[in-house]
Structure 1
Amino acid sequence: MSREFPIGLSPPDWLVRNLQPQRAPASRAAAVRAAVAMTLPLVIGLAAGEPAYGALASMGALSGVIGDTADAYRMRILNIAVPQLFGAIGITVGSAVYGQGWLAVAVVTGVALVSGMISTIGAVASVSGLLLLLNSVVGAGLPMPGEWWLAPVLMSGAGLLVLLLALLAWPLRSGVPERTAVAATYRTVADLLAACGSEVPGAYEDARHTVTQSLNQSYDLVLARRARQHGRNAELTRLIAQLNAITPVVEAAPAAHLAGRPLPDAVPEAVRHLARAVETGFTGPVGLRLPSPGSETGRAVDHALRHAAEVVAAPDIEPGVPGGVDDDRLGRPARLRVRASGAARDVALSAASWRYGLRLALCIGLAQILVSTVPVARSYWVALTITFVMKPDFGSVFSRALLRALGTVAGLVVAAAVLSQVPRGWWDVPVMLLLAPLIPALTPRGYGYQTAAITPVILLLSDVLNHQGTGLLLPRLVDSLIGCGIALVAGYLLWPESWHTRVGDRLADAVADASRYVDAAFGADVDTAGRARMRRRLYRDLSVVRTEFQRALTEPPPTGRRAAAWWPLVVAVERIVDATTAARVRVSHGAEPPSVREIAHVALQLRELADGLRDTENLYPVRTELTGPPDSVLEPLRQEVAAARAITSPR
């Protein structure tokens, strides 16, 4: 029997969502790399009689472990090596102003502004900005042992050790992460087909969302590698073609789901068979045992699967030929030509980047002023806390501040046992071997879990440097709470844009795009490839909208309550796109096409709905009545639009 909280004692929804662990697989290889990279410097330092140097290097390895997130080897070079350069600059700048009073305050605040602005460029720039500021704060708040150049060399060298360990298998596994990602996408599509017609509430929607995320990840991974290749690469061309070939299967899934009957087990099993062929690089005849289709929906699925099997079986695929489409269904060429410097400059100097940089600089400046005027033990921890909590791409500031506080408390429990029971010296080695793998293992679960894993490691290394034992526990807690408080007030509450999310505008854009998709899905002036690009772009945008809403749901009222009220409409828009795709697939395989008047009627309804969402957050009923032949292929779409209208109508 499930336990229920008494009325009035139930925790609020936003708190429950914050505390729920995320479902994400942990990498055993990353855990092993973390154990080796963070323990080896300690061993070398103890053997050389310089444990402080070993602890400093282990701190640098920690930054490499945090950045060790990419699957592709070329992306790992960027994700780990580039941030280490910024980290070396940060520790050098911070050390130069250590003990300089207000000069240190001004310099660290300026670094925070620069860090915040470059952090908005992209994933690599985000980690680079994080290490730039983190190491500046550490250097300005903690005396570094040895010459001025020793700390950056030790910390960056240990961070690069993580990269070296990650690249050891490159000669044997080159291209394997990309193939694995594409095969994983095929398996998510198999799960989607298995969920078609399911009576389990939300099973199909969850599977479709997983497919969208997997497609996005696979395209990004393969195209990122292709962008750095000179000349034609047959393997990458095949992978891109295989990703494009699974698109018709994804398009056929909504039609199969709306038919209301589960597909035969042989259908999803056929996709899993193709996934195994993709993962192993197999080329040659792929025997598919598919049942004979008995409807236009069945014919659509059968045709899409056989086309995918032909592409997977092809030993070589030339760009531009059938089955070897040159883009990723978003209109982006397989061989990217991006003016990276100009794009990065535009993003870094945008109004949003300036606002975020100013928010971060304000919080860091307040922290530096506070610790310069009020005696605070281990004062640099205050700014470190703010740096992590205020990251723009890591989630809600409020949520991260809450999870940071809770994670710190949990980590302090472990740290208390380590600092009180384990003597410093060679006993630190087995302790680090146990604690370091927890960081990559728990990080996918959420920020609070990551904080709980990092806290005892940082305190252990700090004790090696300063020998304060359990005296580190209370300052760590106090400093973390102060940092969270500054971030919440100066970085969250004082900036209405952070807690007045424009969820209505985002949804309105998605509804307007859905209206254009309805027009394009049945228009003669849009070719098949154009419709596929529009559909992929729309699903990708909806995935971003869903992520933004899920982030908003972790906020306290009013943001969380407003997001919860809009959430059913997010799902409704996704179902509208599904119904449009299903109708297009049915028409392509024999169903009677809808009239121009029917198409215009549905598109008008969606445009009016979008206009209403933009006009006010006080939802009102749209005007147009949805009518049409009950046996039309657009009838399921009209029902979905009517459901969306009912959500926005006052009750």
Structure 2
Amino acid sequence: MRPESPARHLAPPDWLVRSLRPHPAPIPWAAVARAGLALSLPLAIGLAAGQPAYGALASMGALSGVIGDTADAYRMRILNIAVPQLFGAVGVTVGALVYGHGWVAVATVTGVALVSGMISTIGAVASVSGLLLLLNCVIGAGLPLPGEWWLAPLLMTGGGLLVLALALLAWPLRSGVPERAAVAATYRSVANLLASAADPENYAETRYAVTQSFNQAYDLVLARRALAHGRNPELVRLIALLNALTPIAESAPAAHQHGVPLPAAVPDAVRRLADAVDTGSTDAGPLDLPAPEGPAARAVDHAVRHAADLVNSKNTDPHRALDADRLGRPAALRVRAVRAARRVVLSGSSWRYGLRLALCIGIAQVLVSTVPVPRSYWVALTITFVLKPDFGSVFSRAVQRALGTAVGLVLATVVLAEVPLGWWDVPVLMALAALIPALTPRGYSYQTAAITPAILLLSDTLNHQGIGLVLPRLLDSLMGCAIALVAGYVLWPESWHTRIGDRLADAVADTATYVERAFGASADPDVPAARARMRRRLYRDLSVIRSEFQRALTEPPPTGRRAAAWWPLVVAVERIVDATTAARIRVKQGAPVPGAAEVAQAAGQLRELAQGLRASDVLKGVRADFSEADRSGVLEPVRQEVAAARAIASPH
């Protein structure tokens, strides 16, 4: 037997390679320009006024605005940047008021950590708001801020709002462009799905990309619609275009099951529709589609022609379009705020995360209060970033934070050693700030490496410690990562288990309900709308499962290995949902409607599979009786996929 190569033992583990592998993403040049200007301009103004510390505080506020500048739609940028700045102002005010008050400061910051953690579980805007609430509170409680108590929050908020002002400059000229681009991108992703319908290797990944694209487009359009007053004709049209695209995406599983490639003219026609949507045109040109052959091709042809009629229509009836809005208009902002507050107070997961974050911050504050640690607030800052609930694996983020900080400190050492204090800081900060939005999409370690030298340069402007900041920064980051790993990860049993099985079980159970809703007899006029919402929710849940799977793979053994074992079942459940959608398309194209007994049998088999998935990490003994199945029934492919999933989960 050939001996193993020593290099194999020196290779980094798979979970670390996955964590550090850069994500492919285009450089957001507009965000790069905004970041460079927003961080350097306040510092330049402070230097010109003879108050560089004030300029550094405003630049710190701009840094938080740059981190939150992730939305495409202009109205969403107002929420993503302005709302977190208000929470940040509250945080720095509370922190400054308890600065130097010993155990009162420890208790206050720990309490703020609890509140921050709980509100962070609501959603994206609340997550950034909770982040800034705690970050600024830690800064205010750990760093002597210049001026009156109200000056620091005013300067930091002003810096963040500068980012917002720069982001909104093009709004009058590009209003609605991000939403149109998102809808057009969804059309193109569906075109790719149709092109790969007969390709078993690429179909699953392409379908996942379609779900992601649908999620982004609906989130953008419906979020803007929630903020707009009245029936905006442009939003009505975009909603109608998305709704018209849904039947095309739903017909793809039927074409995939048929196994025969669609003519190239079909995806090309959808791409022409995408170009028309992108430019706002109402003339996509002739479709020139070939005559469809078979039920699956007819379903695709009918759906594409319907979408083309809508794209080429110059007048969209607002009442008809809104009535056909199967996802429904989002609730008013006040109603959603009340629901969010109720969910935070009553949710067990909200309390668990809040307590976990408060425990870690409390340990950090007690530690730095009893042990002399220079610039001690960096320990809590590290914990705050590592323990964000929507940022992925805590273990992976702690490792990436440590490595990213080490790389960033190399650059920071050069900057602090070679760049003299004063006006040279302005162009250097501009260059460092531009790296933040350029590297953030690549991964957390890359973002950390970009943010670290910018923060150190601003910190040096406040305290003039120069290169003496570097080593304490590294030690504090390592201490914060260690506390997060032990008190925020190792001591919590849920950290050692993946949620993939439970999420798969929920998806299968929801599929059973969908089967009953889609094929059961009902005269309820809202059933088609309810079916559409349920189907969208199913595919969105599948997207979440894939994201959870990718996150779990970055965990160390044995969690990562356990997660990898679920992958065949992830694919099997996706095939079950696809088979259910394809069955519905077959019925719409004239196949016999399954009887009540067939529907009940399929739904029962799905629920038995869901119970088995929920029972244990290794699925055993799932019962699914196929002896009396109607082999010619429209739901037979669904039963076959359930049997395949059971065979994967219970190998013999």
TM-score category (smaller protein): over 0.9
| Of 466, 491, 494, the match for 1:494 | 491
Q: What code does the residue aligned with 1:342 have?
A: V
Residue identity in the other structure for 1:48: A
Q: In the alignment, what sits opposite 1:379?
A: 376
2:388 aligned counterpart, secondary structure: coil
Given that 1:327 and 1:334 are in contact with CA atoms closer than 8 Å, whether structure 2 keeps it comes out as no
Give the match's secondary structure for 2:473.
helix
Change (3 A) 1:540 1:111: same
**1:455-604 maps to which residues of 2 (within 5 A)?**
455-525=452-522, 527-594=527-594, 596-604=596-604
Residue 431 of structure 1 pairs with residue 433 of structure 2? no
1:217 corresponds to = 216
Q: Distance in 2 between matches of 1:648 and 1:85?
A: 50
Q: Is the 8 A contact 1:226 1:336 kept in 2?
A: no
Q: Write the letter of the residue equivalent to 1:225.
A: R
Unaligned runs of 5+ in 1: none
Q: Does the alignment pair 1:447 with 2:444?
A: yes
Match of 1:340 among 336, 340, 352: 336
Say which SS state the counterpart of residue 263 (structure 2) adopts: coil
C-alpha distance 409-209 of structure 1, shift in aligned 2 (>3 A): same
Contact kept? 1:329, 1:537, Cα under 8 Å: no
CA 610–542 in structure 1, closer or farther in 2 if over 3 Å, else same: same
The alpha-carbon deviation at position 62 of structure 1 amounts to 0.0
Q: Which AA in structure 2 matches 1:580?
A: T
Kindly report which structure 2 residues correspond to 1:136-285, keeping only aligned pairs within 5 A, or say none. Answer: 136-199=137-200, 201=201, 203-284=202-283
Partner of 1:611: 611
More moved, 493-502 vs 206-215 = 493-502
Q: Note closer, same or farther for the CA distance 1:453–1:125 as it changes in structure 2 (3 Å cut).
A: same
Give the match for residue 109 of structure 1.
110
SS of the residue aligned with 2:260?
coil
Query: For the residues of structure 1 that align with 2:643 and 2:378, how far apart are their CA atoms?
Result: 54
Is contact 2:80–2:125 with CA below 8 Å preserved after alignment?
yes
The RMSD of aligned alpha carbons is 2.1
Native 8 Å contact 1:580 1:637 kept in 2: yes
What are the equivalent positions in structure 2 for 1:344-355 lying under 5 Å apart? 344-350=340-346, 351-355=348-352
Residue of structure 1 equivalent to 2:311: 312
Whole-angstrom distance in 1 between the partners of 2:203 and 2:643:
20
The answer on whether the counterparts of 2:520 and 2:599 sit within 8 Å (CA) in structure 1 is: no
Deviations, residues 263-296 of structure 1 (Å, cap 9, x unaligned): 2221111111111111111124642121111111
Q: Which moved more, 1:624-633 or 1:485-494?
A: 624-633
Native 8 Å contact 1:42 1:429 kept in 2? yes
Segment drifting more, 623-632 vs 104-113: 623-632
3-state DSSP class of the match of 2:185? helix
Equivalent position amino acid for 1:254 in 2: P
Q: CA deviation at 1:117?
A: 1.8
Deviation of 1:319 after TM superposition, in Å, equals 4.1
Structure 1 stretch 108-117 or stretch 28-37: which is displaced more? Answer: 108-117
Q: CA deviation at 1:632?
A: 5.0
Letter in 1 for 2:345: L
Alpha-carbon distance in 2 for matches of 1:297, 1:510: 25
The Cα shift of 1:617 comes to 2.8
How far the C-alpha of 1:382 sits from its partner, in A, is 0.3
Counterparts of 2:374 and 2:565, CA distance in 1 = 45
Is the contact made by 2:231 and 2:318 (CA closer than 8 Å) also made in structure 1?
Answer: no
The count of corresponding residues between Structure 1 and Structure 2 is 644
Q: Structure 2: where are the runs of 5+ without partners?
A: none
Cα distance change, pair 265–558 in 1 and its aligned pair in 2 (3 A): same
For residue 87 of structure 1, report the CA deviation from its aligned partner: 1.2
User: Is this contact kept in 2: 1:234–1:316, CA < 8 A?
Assistant: no
2:135 partner amino acid: L
Residue 516 of structure 2 aligns with an amino acid whose one-letter code is D
For 1:53 and 1:220, how far apart are their aligned partners in 2?
A: 38
- What is residue 65 of structure 1 aligned with on the other side? 66
Bigger drift between 9-18 and 587-596 goes to 587-596
Taking a change above 3 Å as real, the CA distance of residues 169 and 426 of structure 1, as seen in their structure-2 partners, is same
Contact 1:223–1:335 (CA under 8 A) maintained in structure 2: no
Structure 1 residues 531-540 or 70-79, which shifts more? 531-540
C-alpha distance in structure 1 between counterparts of 2:324 and 2:354, whole Å: 35
Deviation at 1:455, TM superposition (A): 0.5
Give the aligned residue type for 1:190: A
Q: What is the identity, as a one-letter code, of the residue corresponding to 2:344?
A: A
**Deviation per CA, 1:170-195, whole angstroms, max 9, x where unpaired?**
11111111111111111111111121
For residue 227 of structure 2, give the secondary structure of its aligned residue in structure 1: coil
**Aligned partners of 1:29 and 1:385: how far apart in 2?**
28
Distance 1:304 1:631, change over 3 A: same
> What is the CA–CA distance in structure 2 between the aligned matches of 1:349 and 1:630, rounded to whole Å?
50
Give the AA of the match of 1:346. Answer: R
Secondary structure in structure 1 of the residue aligned to 2:391: coil
Q: 1:573 to 1:98 in 2, by over 3 A?
A: same
- In 2: Cα distance, 1:570 partner to 1:219 partner: 24
CA–CA distance in structure 1, aligned partners of residues 324 and 8 of structure 2: 54
> Is the 8 Å Cα contact of residues 131 and 384 (structure 2) preserved in structure 1?
yes
- With normalisation by structure 2, the TM-score equals 0.94
The correspondence for 1:414, drawn from 411, 414, 418, is 411
One-letter identity of the residue aligned with 1:421 = E
Farther-moved stretch of structure 1 (496-505 vs 244-253) = 496-505
What amino acid maps onto 1:316 in structure 2?
A: N
Question: In structure 2, how many angstroms separate the alpha carbons of the residues matched to 1:336 and 1:644?
Answer: 42
- Give the superposition deviation at 1:163: 0.4
- Decide which moves more: 114-123 or 617-626: 617-626
- Provide, for residues 556-607 of structure 1, a one-character-per-residue CA deviation record: whole Å limited to 9, x for no partner: 2232222211222111111111112122212322445555544443332222
The one-letter amino acid paired with 1:579 is A
Q: For 1:189 and 1:540, how far apart are their aligned partners in 2?
A: 15
